[in-house]
């Protein structure tokens, strides 16, 4: 998928434009993208549909299961685009691994304790939804975008390896098995995973404990081991983990980290962990050291307290984000998007004589079309921008009643007949106005349904949500009206008049 194509070649999911590539891994490629309705930046993951081990659909299902949980990014679209599966989601900040590198590969006890509490809460939320993550590593824990309320909220992403450890309805736990294959990062995996045992909640928590010690120590004793094959290397790492006493691993650090590892390694296969007890361990560490969970991490203190965003290596860090490193957009992203949109309009003008958008539309992305084809400022209804960009082009290009269309007809009529007076700018106005107010009503009805915590189906008369397919059909219908090939129904004329006079 090239991000340099012009026109609609780089549009996916109806209104997401693909930008530059920001990450690549064994499972696919991640691009920075733009939500053209709201002018916000998103992340777009591409996975080949014929991949040897496709996981993006399973990842989407996990996100859908976890929707609404703190620290879980919002998903905007999942579908197929050409030869790829695509997933559109929130664009987040750097991963804990990236921040770890920015901080000189050492975190303070306070930062590790605060991060541990948040990471435990994320894993607990995953477990409460009957899922286990199975591939815990620092690369998959990301902070939010700078300058937002969630700037230091730790998120978890990349659920390609997630699996149900129990039936979501019956709560029946999966059976214990052995001789399981190893397909995750060996550095943090639990000892039981090395032994080929079926993974459960205890293994996620043990892997977290190894991540905590990695942050404190800067490295783990089993890193850098050499072997002829991956299988032999996995065996060496497993032997090293089993032979190093926990007290030696945690020597020189608060005893609570050793207590944590002792506890999680003794958990039974189906045993429910005491997450509150584990979180309290790190609260106690901060209390003993005289620290408080004030949300100030080591990366916030870089560059004299200005934070990681101003570090000299930020540009390189953002470009070199790994598969999970979804970099935030710069502060002037909105202006950049407006410049891109103006460039699109210039290209369209050269091709079809379309005038550029008005200043109101350039300032307000939610501008609303008036009856004369101009725009006025609107609210935060995403369909306003859809109409301001899409249908105003048709308005500008539509022939006036006295003009002849390329086929020789007045106002774009059929081949053998002249169009009537409705097939001109008033017709365009009616079509635009009707569709605009219809979608606005749907948008507000949807918001009301969410506010009232009831189903959209209970909100009359606008029962159906506007799916991409329905949006496409409405566009085709409107285009037919503009060209005089589709009669404007009397219901539309009547409803439009009522809406415009109300």
pLDDT above 70: percentage of residues in the chain: 59
Contact at 8 Å (CB) between 62 and 54?
no
Name which of 119-133, 222-236, 350-364, 471-485 the model is least confident about: 350-364
The count of other CB atoms within 10 Å of the CB of residue 442 is 20
Q: Where residue 120 falls among pLDDT bands split at 50, 70, 90? A: very high
The count of other CB atoms within 10 Å of the CB of residue 380 is 12
113 pLDDT higher than 70 = yes
Where do the structural domains in the chain lie, given as residue ranges?
11-90, 96-319, 333-501
Q: Where residue 136 falls among pLDDT bands split at 50, 70, 90? A: very high
Dump pLDDT digits (tens) for 6-38: 445 588 888 899 999 988 766 779 999 999 988
DSSP string across 283-344: HHHHHHTT----S--GGGSHHHHT-GGG-TTHHHHHHT--TT--PPPPTTHHHHHHHHHHHH
Tell me the mean pLDDT in the region 99-120.
Answer: 97
CA angle 163, 229, 261 (to 5 degrees): 50
> Mean of the per-residue pLDDT values for the chain?
75
Q: Is 139 a catalytic residue?
A: no
**Residue 401, pLDDT score:** 41
**Residue 436, pLDDT score:** 58
Name which of 209-213, 227-231, 275-279, 466-470 the model is least confident about: 466-470
Name which of 100-114, 300-314, 406-420 the model is least confident about: 406-420
**Residue 304, pLDDT score:** 85
**Residue 230, pLDDT score:** 87
334 pLDDT higher than 60 = no
Q: What does DSSP say about strands 11-12 and 75-81: parallel, antiparallel, or unpaired?
A: unpaired
What are 202's two structure tokens?
């205890």
Domain 96-319 has CATH 3.60.15.10: no
**Residue 494, pLDDT score:** 59
Catalytic pick among 90, 98, 135, 424: 135
**Residue 119, pLDDT score:** 98
Centroid of chain to Cα 391: 28
**Residue 319, pLDDT score:** 43
**Residue 205, pLDDT score:** 98
Please report which residue ranges of 359-483 form alpha helices under DSSP H: 359-363, 382-397, 425-451, 468-482
492 pLDDT higher than 70 = no
Highest CATH level, class, for 11-90: alpha beta
Q: Where residue 345 falls among pLDDT bands split at 50, 70, 90? A: very low
Nearest to 89 by CA among 97, 100, 78: 78
């Amino acid at each position: 998928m090239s991000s340099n194509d012009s026109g609609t070649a780089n549009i996916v999911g109806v209104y997401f434009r693909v930008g530059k590539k920001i990450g690549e891994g064994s499972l696919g490629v991640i691009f920075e993208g733009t939500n053209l309705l709201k002018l916000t930046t998103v992340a777009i993951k591409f996975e080949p549909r014929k991949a040897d081990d496709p996981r993006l659909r399973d990842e989407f299902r996990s996100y859908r299961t976890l929707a609404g949980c703190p620290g879980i990014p919002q998903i905007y679209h999942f579908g197929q685009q050409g030869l790829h599966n695509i997933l559109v989601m929130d664009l987040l900040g750097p991963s804990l691994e990236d921040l770890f590198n920015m901080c000189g590969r050492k975190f303070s006890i306070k930062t590790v304790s605060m991060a541990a509490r948040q990471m435990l809460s994320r894993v607990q939320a995953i477990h409460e939804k009957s899922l286990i993550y199975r591939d815990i590593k620092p690369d998959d824990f990301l902070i939010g975008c700078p300058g937002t309320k969630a700037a230091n909220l730790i998120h978890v992403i990349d659920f390609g390896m997630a699996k149900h450890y129990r039936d979501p309805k019956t709560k029946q736990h999966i059976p214990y098995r052995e001789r399981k294959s190893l397909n995750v990062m060996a550095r943090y995996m639990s000892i039981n995973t090395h032994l080929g045992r079926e993974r459960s909640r205890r293994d996620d928590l043990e892997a977290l404990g190894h991540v905590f010690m990695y942050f404190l120590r800067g490295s783990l004793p089993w890193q850098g081991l050499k072997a002829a094959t991956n299988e032999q290397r996995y065996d060496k790492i497993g032997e090293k983990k089993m032979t190093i006493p926990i007290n030696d691993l945690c020597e020189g650090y608060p005893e609570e980290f050793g207590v944590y590892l002792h506890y999680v390694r003794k958990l039974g296969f189906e045993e429910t962990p005491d997450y509150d007890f584990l979180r309290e361990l790190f609260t106690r560490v901060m209390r003993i050291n005289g620290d408080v969970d004030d949300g100030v991490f080591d990366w916030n203190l870089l560059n004299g307290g200005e934070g990681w965003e101003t570090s000299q290596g930020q540009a390189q860090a953002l470009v070199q984000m790994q598969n999970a490193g979804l970099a935030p957009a710069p502060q002037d992203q909105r202006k950049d998007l407006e410049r891109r949109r103006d460039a699109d309009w210039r290209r369209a003008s050269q091709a079809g004589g379309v005038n550029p958008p008005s200043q109101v539309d350039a300032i307000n992305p939610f501008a609303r079309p008036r009856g004369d084809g101009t725009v006025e400022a609107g609210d935060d209804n995403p369909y306003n921008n859809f109409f301001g960009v899409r249908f105003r082009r048709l308005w500008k290009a539509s022939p006036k009643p006295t003009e002849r269309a390329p086929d020789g007809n007045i106002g774009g009529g059929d081949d053998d007949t002249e169009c009537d007076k409705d097939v001109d700018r008033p017709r365009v106005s009616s079509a635009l106005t009707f569709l605009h107010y219809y979608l606005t009503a749907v948008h507000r009805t949807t918001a009301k349904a969410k506010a009232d915590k009831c189903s959209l189906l209970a909100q009359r008369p606008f029962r159906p949500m506007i799916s991409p397919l329905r949006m496409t059909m409405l566009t085709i219908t409107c285009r037919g009206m503009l060209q005089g090939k589709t009669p404007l129904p009397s219901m539309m004329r009547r409803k439009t008049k009522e809406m415009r006079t109300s």
